[in-house]
């Protein structure tokens, strides 16, 4: 009986993998990975079989139950099974379903933490998420909803923290800004969008909550080309970002009608 | 003129360093490090001079201004200056002061993110900080106060998030529990304390907010030996920890008088 390692692949760049993750990849018999895990990272696992269990490019995503079952079967056939998840496995990674399924099947499991996207974004923006006198805490939030979940379950956490990192926020930045302004956050609050943090295609743009509203109309159509993202986007909000190392976007004109 | 790298040393175990951090350490001419950075990690930098700028064991901590100045001077004398910070530099690491001082002196600076303590704790507890239907967000908080700061500035963020990770919380767990219960969080909410996550001396104990109150009287004296910590402690709170991989502590008797 083998062992399954749930391993954080970091934000993208292969050199932001941990030493432990790199060694496990070298030893892996089989690697299950998300779509966001980069080819350079997978190249560290020369001997292994690879199974892509992520969704992207319009392909249908395997159901979580299928992934759970595949991990259990792999552990019965192989010694070292690596399940690579973008960023850190325990942050927006649906790791608990896999951990629980492995425990139920009596299969040993170990989690190897990784660098989460918000910290890679902070590094490239050269902005500390906490700063004496400005920010004493950070909320890590997603505005994505599971089916049947009420709207804005994220808003309480996001409006109560000094600094907010919103994961998977590229197509929702105007909605998010509108909700935060509605909850009392000033429209002048700095907001930065970081696309593909740590990767060659990285982009960093800085605006304000009000700017997000003007730049990306609420229906998600006709957004400014500067806000047309291809890679994963982290949206970071808070006073600490006033001097972020990012392209300054000003959307000064009034909001356009969205039809 | 050299360059300064602000590098996350991860939670402690040397193999949770990133590949990039390990390569920079190998190339470093001089390494400035916090007290929490472990000898195994420093051993990766064989050729370098080491400067301990952390406080511990009763020694007086160098002032931040002294560290800023020392980094600027080191960059004028050396090519590769590494500033190693426990965990991730941008989370409770006072990195902004150093980044700003280097920018002001015209010295190039790069930040290399690391694995932050809360994610190492989640890994060893085998609990995902987010979980569908239970937790959609996480707050990273410290209850430590800067001089002159009002009490409980952390409470808003901590009481609004589904899951809370409190850094540097070992000696304040009863105060924290009292404040959260006062803010409406049930006394039955699971709470886990992780000491020295990822290191050989790691300890993980699980209780509830009510248990923290009973186990560690408010004056900080006469705490239960199970709550007498030597290493850095992360306190994690939330329903997701109901089944954490940790020693189960039950403090059922009523609170003792603390004199």
How far does the CA of residue B240 sit from the closest CA of chain A (Å)? 9
Size of interface A-B (CB pairs under 8 A): 200
Inter-residue contact A135 to B152 (CB < 8 Å): no
The pLDDT tens digits for A134-151 are 999 999 999 887 677 777
The answer to whether the beta carbons of residues A37 and A86 sit under 8 Å apart is: yes
Residue ranges of chain B assigned to CATH 3.40.1010.10: 3-112
Q: Write down the ipTM of this complex.
A: 0.93
List the 133-162 stretch of B: residues with Cβ below 8 A of A.
133, 136-142, 146, 149, 153-154, 156-162
A68 vs A54: CA distance, rounded Å: 13
Mutate which of B121, B126, B150, B241 to disrupt the A interface (most A C-beta within 10 Å)?
B126
| Residue A168 bears catalytic tag | yes
Name the CATH topology of B117-248: 3.30.950
State the catalytic residue, choosing from B29, B52, B90, B168: B168
Exposure string of A8-22, with b = 16+ CB inside 10 Å and e = fewer, is bbbbbbbbbbbbbbb
List chain A residues with pLDDT less than 70: 55-61, 146, 217-223, 252-259
Q: What pLDDT, on a 0 to 100 scale, did the predictor assign at position A60?
A: 54
Q: What confidence tens digit (pLDDT) does each residue in B180-225 have?
A: 999 999 999 999 999 999 999 999 999 999 999 888 766 555 667 7
Predicted local confidence at residue A180, as pLDDT: 96
Please answer whether residues B182 and B217 qualify as being in contact, where contact means their C-beta atoms are separated by less than 8 angstroms: no
Q: In which residue ranges of chain B is CATH 3.30.950.10 found?
A: 117-248
> Of A151, A164, A181, whose CA–CA distance to A255 is shortest?
A181
List the CATH code of the domain at B3-112.
3.40.1010.10
Could you read off the pLDDT of A66-91 as tens digits, one per residue? 999 999 999 999 999 999 999 999 99
């Amino acid at each position: 009986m083998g062992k399954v390692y749930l391993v954080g692949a970091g934000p993208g760049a292969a050199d932001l993998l941990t030493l432990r993750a790199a060694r496990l990849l070298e030893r892996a018999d089989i690697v299950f990975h998300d779509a966001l895990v980069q080819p350079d990272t997978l190249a560290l696992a020369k001997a292994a079989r690879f199974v892509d269990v992520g969704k992207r490019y319009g392909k249908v995503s395997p159901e979580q139950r299928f992934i759970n079952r595949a991990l259990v079967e792999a552990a019965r056939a192989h010694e070292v099974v690596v399940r690579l998840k973008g960023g850190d496995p325990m942050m927006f990674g649906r790791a608990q379903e896999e951990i629980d399924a492995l425990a139920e099947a009596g299969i040993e499991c170990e989690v190897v933490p990784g660098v989460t996207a918000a910290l890679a974004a902070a590094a490239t923006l050269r902005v500390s998420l906490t700063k004496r006198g400005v920010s004493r805490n950070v909320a890590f939030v997603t505005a994505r909803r599971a089916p049947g979940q009420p709207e804005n379950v994220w808003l309480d956490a996001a409006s109560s923290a000094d600094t907010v990192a919103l994961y998977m926020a590229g197509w929702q930045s105007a909605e998010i800004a509108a909700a935060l302004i509605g909850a009392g956050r000033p429209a002048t609050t700095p907001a930065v969008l970081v696309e593909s943090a740590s990767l060659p295609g990285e982009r960093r743009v800085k605006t304000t909550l009000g700017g997000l509203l003007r730049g990306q109309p609420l229906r998600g159509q006709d957004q400014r080309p500067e806000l047309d993202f291809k890679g994963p986007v982290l949206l970071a909000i808070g006073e600490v970002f006033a001097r972020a190392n990012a392209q300054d976007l000003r959307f000064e004109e009034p909001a356009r009608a969205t039809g």
